Amino acid sequence: MTIKKITFLVFVFFLNFTIIGQTLDTIVLLDDVELTVKKQIFLVGGKIESIDSIKLSTVSSGSLTDMINRYLPIYIKQDAGGLSTIRFRGTSPDHTAIMFGGLNINSLTLGHSNMSNIPMFLFDDVKVQFGSSSSLYGTDAIGGSIQLDNQPKWNKGWNVGIQQDLASFGSYFTGLKLGYSNKKIHYVIKAFYQIKENDFPFLNTAVKDFEKDKFVDDVQKNASFKNFGILQEFNFKVTDKLFFYTKQWYQNNWREIQPNMSENYYGGDYAEIENNSLRIITGLNYNIGKHKVNTNIAYIYDSQLYDNNYDQTISTRSFISSVNYFNSDFLHGDFNVGVNYSHLTSDVYAYNDDVSENRLDFFSSYKVKLFDKLKMAVNLRESVVIDYTNQFSPSIGFDYSITEANENKINATASISKSFKIPTFNDRFWYPNGNPDLLPENGMNYEIGSNLNLKKGKGTYNFGVSFFLMNVDDWILWVPSGDLWRPENIKKVQSMGVELNFKKACKLRILDLNWGFNYSLTDVSEVDEFWSYNFSKREQIAYTPKHIVNIFTNIDYKNWNFNFTGSYTGNRFTESKDKLDGYILINTIIGKNFYLNDHTFSVNLSANNLFNKAYQNQAYYAMPGRNFNLSVKYLYH
């Protein structure tokens, strides 16, 4: 039986058997009709960006890549064939923790997630945390973390959502949402199917017609992909004190490996990759006044099939359990203590043996108001990897309210945090290249910032600035070693910079206007010593632009809406020190809503890369020019 069939049968079994689950390593409070994730209250002094419903709606048929590219100053290295990896504040893809309901879903073999495989259609609560957060989320969270979740909406009865998109270059998207809730039960199931042929025309700058003295016109081949997935959530309030929950997310992703421009023109050996993943979280909350107890179990399965070769199996499984205790009035503050146990197994053809590993995390957090205007949070985590190196990752953060009157507020923040990254299974066990003696990567993050929130007339304003310094030691890099390439702890990397963000919401007569911008300056390079600051020798790390800008505007007029986003990605250097020019991309959406009692119909027309910019996100890989998307949505509520 194929991996896909086995995974699907396991998923169906759990759909019928499991009835509980919501988050891992996360405290949950239950009000009469609201479920509130509490872990983030301990991120005092850090920067968190919550993605609002307007932004999520504009990328509902897209991936996490599309959302970040449009609305956040974070670089995504991508091709057009469904592969994209994140570079958060100049760190590597392995240094961002992708969390689903509090569960780290990064690959155990590769150490990161493909951003193109995370559909925005499945989630309505997305938060992006900038900077180190290993003290809360464990391994991987050196550069930042992204939390994916859904917030239950109680007493809503039945609701149905359908979305159908048709787009350029053979692109289709179909999505379905079905939910029901009352005072005690909340249930929702979401499913989607997406396909892209990606047969777009482009100017092939790797091939020149010397007779005409110009580059050739080409059409992209072998870059198609298709994804489908299903997410089910069930929440049940048994009594005022007892609460059960469950989440199950299955997804299949298939893509052709996009050839570079030269291979695309002259032909070559083409291959494909298929990934399957299953994530299940089940748990129980028990609440007595200020005391809350949360316990849960989770299962993660990931597999990869390369070019339909079943002799090269790659699959991993994680079995995870967690216990949390929360006290909302401990020494006049909020207190959390808990333990998390993980048992990890693998079936990888390139390992000498089937690798298994046990990990144990002890964590504690305390948040308190020291004075009327000063808040402080301390987070501690000790991670024990059996037969490996223990990691201690503390953090401390402060939030000082400079002034607060009515709805106007100015505050200053500061934080210091230690983070770590456990080497991947491939780093340690891939035969014969793996290096079992690797040390964990370690990071220190220093950050200060300020936020200004004002309300004036019918408008609200928010302005924020953050300055950060991040040092990462024992950075793992694959380097030549005799006839092989092997991973070694050889790098010290320092990243420093500033981030600005501005948002404004106002009403101009009959128009509702929301607009803003983000800017990031990131200087990141390999250094000999962290505190030498010899800028004359600094060279920007490959595929990390110094400058990123996002601009976004949303205008509502009666039943009409208009959305505009623009992004600038600065110059980058490749591994061979070649320069990739920066580029500007403009996207627009115009749409109209039609209302009939409890039924809402929406029609939206999008134009992406409006000015048909020819650009390369990574060297000699084509990206699509101007393209269009027609989206029709139906909602019953």
pLDDT digits (tens, 9 = 90+) for 546-583: 999 999 999 999 999 999 999 999 999 998 889 999 99
Overall pTM surpassing 0.95 (yes/no): no
Does residue 331 sit within a domain? yes
pLDDT, tens only, 339-388: 999 999 999 999 998 899 999 999 999 999 998 899 999 999 999 998 77
406 pLDDT exceeds 90?
no
Q: Supply the pLDDT for residue 4.
A: 44
In a domain, 257, yes or no: no
- Element at 462 (helix H, strand E): strand 459-481
Beta partners for residue 550, in sequence order: 518, 567
pLDDT over threshold 80, residue 464:
yes
The per-residue pLDDT of the chain, averaged, comes to: 91
DSSP 52: P
Sign of the C-alpha dihedral computed for residues 194, 199, 201 and 206 taken in this order: positive
**Residue 621 main-chain phi, psi, to 5 deg:** -120, 125
Which among 312, 249, 290 has a CA at the least distance from the CA of 21? 249
List the single range of 66-75, 224-233, 501-510, 549-558 with lowest mean pLDDT. Answer: 501-510
- Indicate the range of 49-53, 534-538, 630-634 predicted with least confidence: 534-538
Q: What is the DSSP letter of 430?
A: B
Tell whether the model's pLDDT for residue 207 goes beyond 50. Answer: yes
Is 444 a member of any domain? yes
CATH at residue 378: 2.40.170.20
Q: Could you give the number of structural domains in the chain?
A: 1
Name the token pair of 609.
């890369």
Residue 258 lies in a domain: no
pLDDT of residue 354: 84
What integer pLDDT is reported at residue 38 of this predicted model? 64
Q: Is residue 260 part of a domain?
A: no
The answer to whether residue 259 is domain-embedded is no
Structural domain contains residue 441: yes
> Residue 490 — very low, low, confident or very high, per pLDDT cuts 50/70/90?
confident
Other beta carbons within 10 angstroms of residue 72's beta carbon come to 23
pLDDT tens across 292-323, in order?
999 999 999 999 999 999 999 999 999 999 99
- How far apart (Å, rounded) are the C-alpha atoms in residues 114 and 97? 12
pLDDT (mean) for 10-20: 37
Model pLDDT for residues 211-254, shown as the tens digit of each residue: 888 999 999 999 999 999 999 999 999 998 999 999 999 999 99
* Rounded distance between C-alpha atoms, residue 127 and residue 149, angstroms: 9
Domain residue limits at 234: 3-251+266-636
| Whole-number pLDDT of residue 40 | 82
